[in-house]
Amino acid sequence: MTIGSVPLKFRVTIDPERCMLCGRCVDNCSYGVYRNEGDRIRINSRNCVACHRCLAFCPRDAIDIEEKPTDYRSHPVWTRETREAIFNQARTGKIILAGMGNAQPYPIIFDRLVLDACQVTNPSIDPLREPMELRTYIGKKPSHISLKSSAKGEIEFLTKLSPNLQIETPIMVGHMSYGAISLNAQLALAKAVSRIGTFMGTGEGGLHEALYPYQQHMIVQVASGRFGVDINYLERGAAIEIKIGQGAKPGIGGHLPGEKVCADVSCTRMIPEGSDAISPAPHHDIYSIEDLKQLVRSLKEATEWKKPVFVKIAAVHNSAAIAAGIARSSADAVVIDGFRGGTGAAPRVFRDHVGIPVEAAVASVDAKLRQQGIRNEVSIIASGGIRESADVAKILCLGADAVYIGTASLVAMGCRVCGTCYRGVCAWGIATQKPELVARLNPDEASVQVENLIHGWTLELAELMGAAGINSIESLRGNRDRLRGYMLDEGLMQVLDVKSVGA
Amino acid sequence: MCGIIGVIDRRRQCMDGSRIKEALSMMDERGSGEGAGYVAYGIYPEYKDYFALHVFFDNIRENKIAIDNLLEKWGTIVHDEQIKTYEQPNIRKVHTPWRYFFRPDRSLMPKSTTPDEDIVTNLVMRVNAGKNGALVFSSGKNLGVFKAAGWPEDVADFYRIQDYKGYLWLGHNRYPTNTPGWWGGAHPFNLLNWSVVHNGEITSYGTNRRYIESYGYQCTMFTDTEVVAYLFDLLVRKHGLSEEMAVRALAPPFWEEIDVMPEKEQELNKAIRLAYGSAMMNGPFAICVANENSLVGFTDRIKLRPLVTGELGDRLYLSSEEAAIRRMEPDVGSITMPKAGEPVIGRLYA
């Protein structure tokens, strides 16, 4: 009892005037905050993670959740978080685990960039009346095309196109594995992307049979643990993604706790039930760029060069040079995952302190590839902290071809970003494998919500393009002239290659 | 706004500049008297094998020697002289226009398939990117750009363009918003044998500029129009596309049109869009592009700027306004309005 109790993170109160003792909060809370005791509901606020499941299901709005009800003595250096992390490690001697994305209050570059619109000298285009093209192709593009006129005057076309993924909006759903999220969550995403005409990633968790009907819209992932990878898996995917790193935890591997490896997850991942699934930090067959090239080409060879192969890296200082290496490896797209990217579980120290924001990484990758004349060799997919359609527009202006969304798609299914995914008892049925919790998520209903979200963003993107006098997404891509930095410092504006507002 | 006009005689019969001056003046409503210009092809028959470099010097005594030295380093100045100008009350002569006839030393560019053009392109880019009181605004063979800040009729009289005889002319009446009064900002823009006049604003400029700069071109004119000349140079001269295909790349069909094309055509159009997505131009524009053999006119994909064509005999006329064409050729036969994104091409008879 040296340290004792620390102040509550949240205080839960029930207004007795409003409460009708229906018990829905007791049934819904998977963290053990509520229990029935005769004619009253007892509350243990210490268990609360603010997932808001109880609040969402309380028919009388009787529940109130207050964050940080007790103050520490305020101190700018020794913040509450710093002190609590020390208490935690003093007790356990372990690495602190955390969920979701970077929780440090770094400035968000997206919020310091503004978009342009047309006035007078050129007309804005109304997407309701004029065609507006958001169709995007992900994959290798020819640098030029070769044509030959035949004797009959017909034009013969000599360039061979590499396989590309065709998406009707530049928004895809990123890799969240079966294991990290529930099968119902994956099903909901799969149904949504199929209807929209876009793609989602499987994550490093294999491809469950229930997803086979949607395989034309799935990008299968090969990560350092090789979980779930066999030829059947590779052939089912529309594209293959090699995961080198993840924005939330650059430089380290993954860890799915054994408690989450139920029978079904064990089959899909091809690992024993109940065993921890540990992905090593590096791929043990990739110790240099030429090894990556061999893996890219092996995967292509195995699938007869019919599928694009992506390589995903965490956004780090040297992303631009790494991406230039990837562009030369036969890969078709490079995924840049920024340091605000989400995760089921990551060491807190990595989540909050390692990596760089996706905006800066994409800008430097695009610039480097252009400089070397190899921009057409790979598409750039940006992920990690894409929160709304404006973020999509801005990252496209900085040079990305498309984005992956992760957290946003989970929020569309009910997730409240409580950051407790690693506990495996997600009350929303998303980041859990407990059958009774998974059953809470109806894949059909959830898929409509995800579809609505992507549809809404797509409409907004079309409006933003029209306002900028642009009717095709190609003309937004890399168009940094249509961005301005607002209160960004000189150095960062140089990296982003944008001017200041007013300039 | 801006007004543009172009004419080609397919039999290379020459026209002097008096008619195009009158036609361009018809469109003064489209300009503001702060920029106008002309280009004529076929005007230097005695020097037709040499690159005719037109240069604006801020100051002959200070700036010219550096350019002379640079040119001598990369080839031979066959002849050079001041371009004759005639004082006009409404034109403030802020530059001295000069012409050089230049023969590059191709042995200095051994690895290139088009060494002469590459040397000239590099020289133009280098001079224009440097702050040395000199601007090369015309660099083709047997052609010349004449431009200044002023109304089209004043600029025409300043150079007396009626004294030049060409088989292909372009003219531009400018309503500047970005760089008013700057002679370099007036159209036509030229690189090698490519000349461009443009009405509109290219909203994809940022993308196009980054694309073209990755091929070694440098955008130095503070305007969107110059990328058009560079894009044509890249697509036609370096990538070997026809003018039709180049226009297809810059203003391609919509996907919904491509999706219903026959398979082969679909494949071709898809390939063009994939390869040249960053070259594609967006925003409102009508553009006339000329080289020594052809005149090409095209608009953006939803035709947000006007373009009218007229034909009479061997001559093809392109302009923002029918009235201007009729002023140039009262007997003009068919007047048509090309569809959005579709090129109109006039070629010399072989």
Contacts of A397 in chain B (CB under 8 A): 206
CB burial class (10 A; 0-12, 13-18, 19+) of residue A411? middle
- Residues B303 and A335: their CA atoms lie apart, in Å, by 37
Strands (E), chain B: 3-9, 15-16, 36-41, 51-57, 75-82, 96-104, 134-138, 143-148, 165-166, 168-173, 189-191, 194-200, 285-290, 294-299, 308-312, 315-319, 335-336, 344-347
Tokens representing residue A297 in the block: 């080409």
Q: Is B200 on the interface with A (CB under 8 A)?
A: yes
- The gap between the terminal CA atoms of chain A, to the nearest Å, is 61
Nearest CA in chain B to A471: B282
Nearest by CB to A145, which of B207, B272, B284?
A: B272
Cβ contacts of A131 on chain B, cutoff 8 Å: 254, 256, 302
Chain B, window 37-96: residues with a beta carbon less than 8 angstroms from a chain A beta carbon: none
Q: What is the mean pLDDT of residues B316-338?
A: 95
Question: Comparing C-alpha atoms, which of B334, B243, B300, B248 is closest to residue A122?
Answer: B300
Distance CA A20, CA B54 (A): 89
Top residue of A332, A365, A472, A473 to mutate, by most chain B CBs within 10 Å, is: A472
Are A142 and B277 within 8 A, CB to CB? no
- Token digits of residue A503: 């300039």
Least confident residue range of A403-407, B213-217, B287-291: B213-217
| A137 has pLDDT over 70 | yes
**Contact criterion met (CB < 8 Å) for B213 and A144:** no
| CA gap A82, B197 in Å, rounded | 63
As a whole number, the mean pLDDT across chain B is 94
B213 and chain A in contact, CB less than 8 A: yes
- Evaluated on CA atoms B32, B34, B40, B43, the torsion sign reads positive
What is the total residue count of chain A?
A: 503
* 3 state SS of A130: coil
pLDDT of residue B72: 97
The residue with greater pLDDT, A491 or A157, is A491
* B178-225 residue pLDDT tens: 777 789 999 999 999 999 999 999 999 999 999 999 998 988 877 888
pLDDT one-digit tens code per residue, A101-125 = 888 999 999 999 999 999 988 889 9
The residue-averaged pLDDT of A232-249 equals 96
Contact B275, A377 (CB under 8 A): no
Contact A445, A191 (CB under 8 A): no
pLDDT bin (cut points 50, 70, 90) of residue B29 is very high
User: Has B288 been annotated as catalytic?
Assistant: no
> Parallel, antiparallel, or unpaired: how do β-strands A379-383 and A333-337 relate?
parallel
Q: Backbone dihedral region of B15: left (phi > 0), alpha (psi from -120 to 50 degrees) or beta?
A: beta
Mean pLDDT (whole number) for A195-208:
96
Report the pLDDT averaged over residues A199-208: 95
DSSP B254: P
Dist CA A113 CA A106 (whole Å): 15
The answer to whether B250 and B300 have CB atoms below 8 angstroms apart is no
Token pair of B332, please? Answer: 């003009």
- The answer to whether residues A495 and A367 touch, using CB atoms and an 8 Å cutoff, is no
pLDDT for residue B87? 95
* CATH number of this structure's domain B3-347, picked from the four choices 3.60.15.10, 3.90.105.10, 3.60.20.10, 3.20.20.70: 3.60.20.10
CA distance B211 to A196: 31
Contact B275 A144 (CB under 8 A): yes
Residues of A in contact with B201 (CB under 8 A): 121-122, 469
Q: Which of A164, A477, A481 sits opposite B205 (nearest CB)?
A: A481
Residue with tokens 């569309």: A412
pLDDT tens-digit map of B85-143: 999 999 999 999 999 999 999 999 998 889 999 999 999 999 999 888 999 999 999 99
Which residues from B are below 8 Å from A157, CB to CB? 264, 267-268, 271
**Nearest chain B Cα distance for residue A22, angstroms:** 55
Report the gap between the CA of B130 and the closest CA in chain A (Å).
21
The alpha-carbon gap from B14 to the nearest alpha carbon of chain A, in Å, equals: 31
Average pLDDT over residues B232-251: 94
Asked if A275 has any chain B CB less than 8 Å from its own CB, the reply is: no
- Sequence-distant (≥ 6) Cβ neighbours of residue B315 within 8 angstroms: B7, B8, B9, B10, B329
**Is residue A350's pLDDT more than 70?**
yes
Selecting from A122, A155, A475 the residue whose C-beta is nearest the C-beta of B207 gives A475
Q: What average pLDDT does chain A have? A: 95
Position A150 pLDDT exceeds 80:
no
Q: How many CB pairs under 8 A join A and B?
A: 114
Q: What is the per-residue pLDDT across B49-98, written as a single tens digit (0 to 9) for each?
A: 999 999 999 999 999 999 999 999 999 999 999 999 999 999 999 999 99
| Measured distance CA(B278)–CA(B281) in Å, rounded | 8
B282 CB neighbour count, 10 Å cutoff: 29
pLDDT of residue A497: 97
In the predicted model, what is the mean pLDDT of residues A71-85? Answer: 94
Range in A247-261, A368-382, A434-448 with the lowest mean pLDDT? A247-261
The model's pLDDT over A353-362, given as tens digits with 9 standing for 90+, comes to 999 999 999 9
Determine contact, residues B70/B95, Cβ cutoff 8 Å.
no
The angle at the Cα of B48, spanning B43 to B49, to the nearest 5 degrees, equals 160
Among candidate residues A302, A328, A323, the one with its CA nearest the CA of residue A240: A302
Partner A, chain B 310-339, Cβ-Cβ below 8 Å: none
Would you call A477 and B277 a contact, using CB atoms and an 8 Å cutoff?
yes
Q: Place A259 in a pLDDT band, splitting at 50, 70 and 90.
A: confident
Cβ atoms of A419 and A98 closer than 8 Å = yes
Average pLDDT of the residues in A41-53 = 97
- State how far the Cα of A333 lies from the Cα of B200, in Å rounded to an integer: 35
Helix (H, G, I), strand (E, B) or coil at A40: strand
Closest CA of chain A from B138, distance in Å: 27
CB-neighbour burial class of residue A154 (10 A; exposed 0-12, middle 13-18, buried 19+): exposed
Q: Which pLDDT band, with edges at 50, 70 and 90, does A305 fall under?
A: very high
Q: Do A475 and B268 touch (CB under 8 A)?
A: no
Calpha distance A156→A148 (Å, rounded): 5
Q: Which domains does chain A have, with CATH numbers?
A: 10-94 (3.30.70.20), 165-492 (3.20.20.70)
- Output DSSP code: residue A422: G
Higher pLDDT residue, A250 or A255? A250
Question: Of the residues B2, B14, B219, B288, which is catalytic?
Answer: B2
| The predicted structure's pLDDT at residue A344 | 83
Percent of chain A with pLDDT over 90: 88
- Amino acid B70 reads L
Taking CB atoms and an 8 Å limit, are A145 and B275 in contact across chains? yes
Residues of A in contact with B209 (CB under 8 A): 481
Ramachandran angles phi, psi of B264, nearest 5°: -65, -45
Average pLDDT over residues A157-162: 87
A1 — pLDDT class (breaks 50, 70, 90): low
Residues A307-332 pLDDT 10s: 999 999 999 999 999 999 999 999 99
Residue A257 pLDDT > 90, yes or no? no
For chain B, what are the domain ranges?
Answer: 3-347
- Whole-angstrom distance, CA of residue A112 vs CA of residue B91: 45
Does B7 lie at the interface with A, CB-CB under 8 angstroms? Answer: no
> In Å, how far is A458's CA from the nearest CA of chain B?
17
Q: Any bridge partners for residue A484, and if so which?
A: A114, A499
Instruction: Provide the pLDDT for residue A470.
Output: 96
